[in-house]
Amino acid sequence: MLNTVIPKKKQPSFWLPLFILLLIAFLAIRFGGSSLANFKAVFLSIIVEALPFIIIGVFVSAVLENFVSEEVISNFFPSNRYLGILLACLLGIIFPICECGIIPVARRLISKGVPLYSAVAFMLAVPIINPVVASSTAVAFFNNHAMVWLRLGLAFLVAYLTGLLVSFFVKGNQLNSSVETETGGCGCAHEPVAVSQSITAKMGNTVLDASNEFFEMGKYLIIGAFPGALAQTFIPRQSLLSIGHQPLLSAIVMVVFAFGVSVCSSADAFIAVSFASSFSRGALLAFMVFGPMVDVKNTLMLLNAFKPRFVILLILIIFFLVVESAFWINVL
Amino acid sequence: MQQQMAIDWEKIIKSLMLLCFSILLFYLVISGQIQMYINPRFTVLSELAAVALLSMFAVQFFNSRNSFHVYDHHAPHKLVYVIFIIPLALFLLLPNAALDASVASNRGFNFNSGNLTSAPPGSGALARASAKSADLGESAGQQTDNTGVSKSGPIQVTADNFVRVVDAIGQSPEDYAGREIEMLGFVIRNKDFAPQEFGLIRFIITCCTADASPGGFILKSKDAVDYKDGTWINIRGVIEVDDYDQQVVPVIEATFIERAAQPSDPYVYP
């Protein structure tokens, strides 16, 4: 039921939108109307582009909730952790969901009894290891197909190792809510999903769940698009270029850049390719692997779905794995 | 009873937001303004999203199952929904304008790869366009006609062939040296340009405006100073080969320049 996914966490309060509006006003005065128009164009484009994908995500999640039982899902994942993580990493091939929509699905899987480590590997791998992203990367790096395989390979490595580390060192489901028990911890009297519900009732509930989750995730998309659009409009990219060929620093800079700009995983290869002459290969890969796994907007969604300590741990693991691999790719 | 009231409000606000977003998407698609934000190739996704939002509105508004048990303990502050007003308000309150030249210079291109993106020589960032046409397998610089560039007469750069042509010429400028070229674009400048030089570019949108990257050529004209950054112009000129930043790049020696209006769709799409 719904209670399994509604977090108890304090919601961002009213000061946040107020702050954003004030900041927009400040920028308008400071930089003048044309910058503001640019900002608006980028900000709205991120939202308009991401809306369909976030809607797909919340609908997949709601369909899982209303139509697929726990047994089916947990039987689907092998109980062996190595195989379970492997399968989770490869699910994107038949199930291409981009990073805007993946978090509600991963959260739903966990609340449906999928082990945390499999769900984490799924969440990290699917937005990269799927046909859509593979082909857009292949088009962007059309005469350098090694980049495609390196990207997919690196994403697999990072997702698999992160899943494995989580399986050994993290206990519990880490969901940030009353999800601790299957019966729901928020103390309301919920009837379990009635198998006997009519199909129309189920469909109504599906749309309603999707709409509730849309509001939950949508606000983070909007807040996350904000620094993304700011970075795109106001930070001169030339300022990044001086560090482009240092093996370690270039990777770190691109990871931070990926975190800030929050571009969709099916488009980020084109941004990466525009840096190709000024940044090392490892740094470009770091950008294309880290970005879809962790960026501003999905960090906010992660914080909503998972306990803060777990989110920080996860980001640190991914950061070190990505930067480390990028460094070795640069050096070798 | 008070609780009941609060829930009704929440339901109404949510329904209203869903309806507004649905209308926004429908409006963008129908008015064609969607092209200002995303590659028109994805328009169908926006249409589907608009329909989905409308169905979410209908169910949210008319359903009998209220969100009572979901929100009573940890009701979000109602003003959370103000966040959803921000994009709507920005859309309504601010003028609808395409990205301008200041963004182009912010994005930091080097002209050193033969085109305005900074891909390494021969990597052809912009050649992704040709992936969709049959000529992908052709390595650049062998058969000029394979890139969609006409073999004789002036090369006409249009919105449709922009990405292919610019990339083909950028990759092997020698093959096109001496050819006449006509194109539309707007003016930008790098700091190290001579007074008689400027860049003539258009933004290429792959997914959405957030990934806009400029493509175009360096132009030489004795009247260059008359054209400010951001000015849309039609030009005719002759392609020459020059050195820029120790790279061989195409440079257009302009023979004719006229001011032009910004096209209704200023962007080009690969």
pLDDT tens track for B1-17: 444 544 567 888 889 99
> In angstroms, rounded to a whole number, what is the distance separating the alpha carbons of residues A268 and A287?
8
- The verdict on B77 and B195 lying in the same domain is no
- The verdict on B232 and B127 lying in the same domain is yes
Choice between A105 and B136, residue whose per-residue pLDDT is larger? A105
Residues whose CB is less than 8 angstroms from the CB of residue B54 and which lie 6 or more positions away in sequence, other chains included: B18, B19, B22
**In this predicted model, what pLDDT tens digit does every residue of B102-151 receive, in sequence order?**
777 766 554 533 333 333 333 333 333 333 333 333 334 334 455 566 67
A273, B119: Cβ pair inside 8 Å? yes
> Structural domain tally of chain B?
2
Residue A119 domain flag: yes
- The verdict on B63 and B108 lying in the same domain is no
- The verdict on B64 and B109 lying in the same domain is no
Residue B69 domain flag: yes
How high is the ipTM of this complex?
0.79
**In this complex, is the C-beta atom of A261 within 8 Å of any C-beta atom belonging to chain B?**
yes
> Structural domain tally of chain A?
1
Q: Which helix (H) or strand (E) element contains residue B257?
A: strand B247-259
Residue B264 domain flag: no
- Please tell me the pTM assigned to this model: 0.75
Residue A4 domain flag: no
Strands B155-156 and B180-188: parallel
> In angstroms, rounded to a whole number, what is the distance separating the alpha carbons of residues B94 and B102?
18
The domain in which residue B14 lies consists of: 2-93
The pLDDT value given to residue A326? 93
With beta carbons under 8 A apart, name residues in chain B contacting A176: none
| Encoded amino acid at A12, one letter | P
Residue B270 domain flag: no
With beta carbons under 8 A apart, name residues in chain B contacting A46: 208, 210
Taking a contact as any Cβ pair under 8 Å apart, which residues of chain A between 233 and 252 contact chain B? Answer: 233-241
B74, A21: Cβ pair inside 8 Å? no
Q: State the CATH number of the domain containing residue B106.
A: 2.40.50.140
> In angstroms, rounded to a whole number, what is the distance separating the alpha carbons of residues B200 and B229?
10
Residue A164 domain flag: yes
Beta carbon pairs, A and B, within 8 Å: 236
Read off the pLDDT of each residue in A123-141 and give the average, rounded to a whole number: 85
| Encoded amino acid at B72, one letter | D
Residue B79 domain flag: yes
Residue A271 domain flag: yes
Is-contact B57 B92, C-beta < 8 A? no
**What's the start-to-end Cα distance of chain B, in Å?**
58
Residue B268 domain flag: no
> In angstroms, rounded to a whole number, what is the distance separating the alpha carbons of residues A101 and A122?
12
Where is the domain boundary, B65, B93, B121? B93
The domain in which residue A176 lies consists of: 13-331
Residue A2 domain flag: no
With beta carbons under 8 A apart, name residues in chain B contacting A33: 95
- The verdict on B65 and B181 lying in the same domain is no
Where is the domain boundary, B35, B64, B93? B93
Residue A320 domain flag: yes
Is-contact A286 A323, C-beta < 8 A? yes
Q: Which residue in B has a C-alpha nearest to residue A238's C-alpha? A: B108
> In angstroms, rounded to a whole number, what is the distance separating the alpha carbons of residues A108 and A177?
12
Residue A3 domain flag: no
B84, A211: Cβ pair inside 8 Å? no
The partner residue sitting opposite B55, judged by closest CB among A36, A207, A270, is: A207
The pLDDT value given to residue A241? 67
Taking a contact as any Cβ pair under 8 Å apart, which residues of chain A between 141 and 170 contact chain B? Answer: 141-144
Residue B269 domain flag: no
A41, B77: Cβ pair inside 8 Å? no
- The verdict on B212 and B251 lying in the same domain is yes
- The verdict on B65 and B144 lying in the same domain is no
Q: Which residue in A has a C-alpha nearest to residue B45's C-alpha? A: A52
Bridge partners (DSSP) of residue B243 are: B248
- The verdict on B251 and B129 lying in the same domain is yes
**In this predicted model, what pLDDT tens digit does every residue of A29-64 receive, in sequence order?**
666 666 778 888 888 888 888 888 888 888 888 888
Best residue in B18, B48, B56, B204 to probe A by mutation, most A CBs within 10 Å?
A: B56
Region at B197 (left for phi over 0; alpha for psi -120 to 50; beta for the rest): beta
- The verdict on B62 and B141 lying in the same domain is no
With beta carbons under 8 A apart, name residues in chain A contacting B108: 236-241
The C-alpha angle with vertex A173 and arms to A172 and A175, in degrees rounded to 5, equals 130
Where is the domain boundary, B77, B93, B109? B93
- The verdict on B135 and B254 lying in the same domain is yes
Residue B265 domain flag: no
Residue B80 domain flag: yes
- The verdict on B110 and B192 lying in the same domain is yes
Q: Is the pLDDT of residue A198 over 90?
A: no
Over chain A, what HEC string results? CHHHCCCCCCCCCCHHHHHHHHHHHHHHHHHCHHHHHHHHHHHHHHHHHHHHHHHHHHHHHHHHHHHCCHHHHHHHCCCCHHHHHHHHHHHHHCCCCCHHHHHHHHHHHHHCCCCHHHHHHHHHHCCCCCHHHHHHHHHHCCCCCHHHHHHHHHHHHHHHHHHHHHHHHCCCCCECCCCCCCCCCCCCCCCCCCCCCCHHHHHHHHHHHHHHHHHHHHHHHHHHHHHHHHHHHHCCCHHHHCCCCCHHHHHHHHHHHHHHHCCCCCCHHHHHHCCCCCCCHHHHHHHHHHHHHCCHHHHHHHHHHECHHHHHHHHHHHHHHHHHHHHHHHHC
- The verdict on B23 and B41 lying in the same domain is yes
